[in-house]
Amino acid sequence: MNGPSSLAGRRVALLFPAWHSCGTYRVVLGQIEAYRALGAQVTPVAVSIDPGFVPERGWIWKSFRAATPELDAGPRHFGGAPLHALFEPAFFTRIVLPYLHGDQAAIRLGLAERARLSPGVDARDYDLVHCNHFFLMPVARRLARGRAPILLDSHDLQARQFDLINRRMPWLPPRVTYEDMLAQELQAMRGADLLLHLNAQEAEEFQRLLPEKRHALLYPPAPPAPTGPGGPDIVIVSSNNTGNVESLIWFLREVAPKAPGVTVKIAGNVDAGVRSRASAEYAAYSAWFLGRVDDPGAVYAGARLVLLPTISGTGLSIKTVEALSSGLPIIATPQALRGMDSEAFALSNVTVAETADAFAAALRRAVASGDSRATANSPSRLYYERRFSLAAYRAAIQTLAAPLCVQA
């Protein structure tokens, strides 16, 4: 970037759910790095959507701290609602009772409204508030004070994700509807000055749902995986969410038996979900599961092939972006490449397999072909650099955010 950044010295509050080992967390790391590279003074605030995670209870944040060492590069800030909020009559009636019927939107928004923040966070003046996920908008509005502009990263249409989760939950009848949760999501989003969407389909859908708002398609920054030195491993990297669990169960049931003799290393906390929902498959392939890993990059660095057997989920897949950045050969379902443009489907080191039989056949061919190595000049790595690298994101956020700050 030529010349000084117009975000230099700007005070940016960056809000995100207190999650780790997932795509959202990887995106947040890229956001923090981008703003700091542009010279902004960033205040990251991890907000829990579980009751009881108030900032002053330092011990309760111990596991989150341990799982997010990357955030130790600067001051830590936390937010969360006190446990007693659940039992206050008005909160119980307005928030808890709907949640017992499956209202995921209401409980998240309600807990964000009651969140206590680390000392000093509320007292600061900000030039910009960057909020991740609609349900943290109550905190974003509090920090903006009606003065600072708010950028909201939508991270997919959340009501759709909530509806997917609710299908396997024993909620009280009558169950909340998708339409009810969507209405709450859209209402919260109306409080933002600019809506950022991380994939093309999502951007089109939200433009239709909220035509009065400003929208921008901004592919998320994802830290790159190392391109080598390579090794013998065939890997799947996956976290424990509904779509990932369903996809991995499909792979173990429908694909793995058709590729006998192949060994796959499955990294990430998806093991807990598979063990819970498909105990027989987990038992049969238990030796493949590595569990949560501190450094996903090391998994790619020692691999020769990445598998993306995705059959479920919505929105852009961050693990797909990370796999592309590794420069490794990839076998993927079309669903794994959702939210990307047609170029992703034509990359020469990405094999797209639409069925279990096709996926297994591609896997057998890859194993028979011998070792291959990732390179910084492979088609998938170059595609990542153009679409999802920190440099690409930094340039885009400078273009989108800086003018808002000037107007503030």
Provide the residue range defining the domain that includes 212. 11-221+390-407
221 has pLDDT over 90: no
Of the candidates 266, 379, 243, the one whose C-alpha atom is nearest the C-alpha of residue 316 is: 243
* pLDDT tens readout for residues 309-326: 999 877 788 889 999 999
* pLDDT tens readout for residues 68-125: 999 999 999 999 999 999 999 999 999 999 999 999 999 999 999 999 999 999 999 9
In terms of domains, do 239 and 169 share one?
no
129 has pLDDT over 90: yes
Query: For residue 178, what pLDDT band results from cuts at 50, 70 and 90?
Result: very high
Contact between 184 and 105 (Cβ < 8 Å): yes
In a domain, 398, yes or no: yes
CATH number of the domain bearing residue 208 = 3.40.50.2000
In terms of domains, do 155 and 283 share one?
no
In a domain, 346, yes or no: yes
Query: For position 407, what pLDDT does the model report?
Result: 60
Strand order in the sheet with 350-352: 289-291, 265-267, 233-237, 303-308, 330-332, 350-352
199 has pLDDT over 90: no
Dihedral of the alpha carbons of 198, 204, 206, 212, in degrees to the nearest 10:
120
**Sign of the CA dihedral running 68, 30, 197, 142:** positive
Mean pLDDT of 184-191: 98
Query: For position 121, what pLDDT does the model report?
Result: 97
331 has pLDDT over 70: yes
Number of domains into which the chain is organized:
2
Instruction: Please provide the average confidence, as pLDDT, over all residues in the chain.
Output: 93
In a domain, 227, yes or no: no
Reading the block at residue 405, the tokens are 């700050």
Query: For residue 406, what pLDDT band results from cuts at 50, 70 and 90?
Result: low
In terms of domains, do 203 and 249 share one?
no
- State the Cα–Cα distance between residues 351 and 329, nearest whole angstrom: 8
370: left (phi over 0), alpha (psi -120 to 50) or beta: left
- State the Cα–Cα distance between residues 380 and 345, nearest whole angstrom: 10
In terms of domains, do 381 and 394 share one?
no
In terms of domains, do 77 and 131 share one?
yes
In a domain, 103, yes or no: yes
- Cα 261 → chain centroid: 33
In terms of domains, do 378 and 400 share one?
no
In a domain, 6, yes or no: no
In terms of domains, do 26 and 156 share one?
yes
In a domain, 2, yes or no: no
1 has pLDDT over 70: no
- Cα 282 → chain centroid: 25
Q: Which residue has better confidence, 362 or 161?
A: 362
In terms of domains, do 281 and 376 share one?
yes
In terms of domains, do 30 and 156 share one?
yes
- State the Cα–Cα distance between residues 337 and 343, nearest whole angstrom: 10
In a domain, 4, yes or no: no
Mean pLDDT of 56-60: 95
Contact between 31 and 61 (Cβ < 8 Å): no
Contact between 111 and 51 (Cβ < 8 Å): yes
Query: For position 312, what pLDDT does the model report?
Result: 86
In terms of domains, do 237 and 185 share one?
no
Helix residue ranges, H only, 149-216 = 158-166, 178-189, 200-209
Type of residue found at 93: T
Query: For position 376, what pLDDT does the model report?
Result: 80
| Burial track 157-177 (b if 16+ CB lie within 10 A, e otherwise) | bbbbbbbbebeeeeeeeeebe
* pLDDT tens readout for residues 334-391: 999 998 888 999 999 999 999 999 999 999 999 998 766 667 899 999 999 999 998 9
Mean pLDDT of 172-199: 97
- State the Cα–Cα distance between residues 20 and 293, nearest whole angstrom: 12
Query: What is the three-class DSSP state of 300?
Result: helix
* pLDDT tens readout for residues 253-280: 999 999 999 999 999 999 999 999 999 9
In terms of domains, do 377 and 403 share one?
no
Query: For residue 2, what pLDDT band results from cuts at 50, 70 and 90?
Result: low
In a domain, 1, yes or no: no
In terms of domains, do 38 and 148 share one?
yes
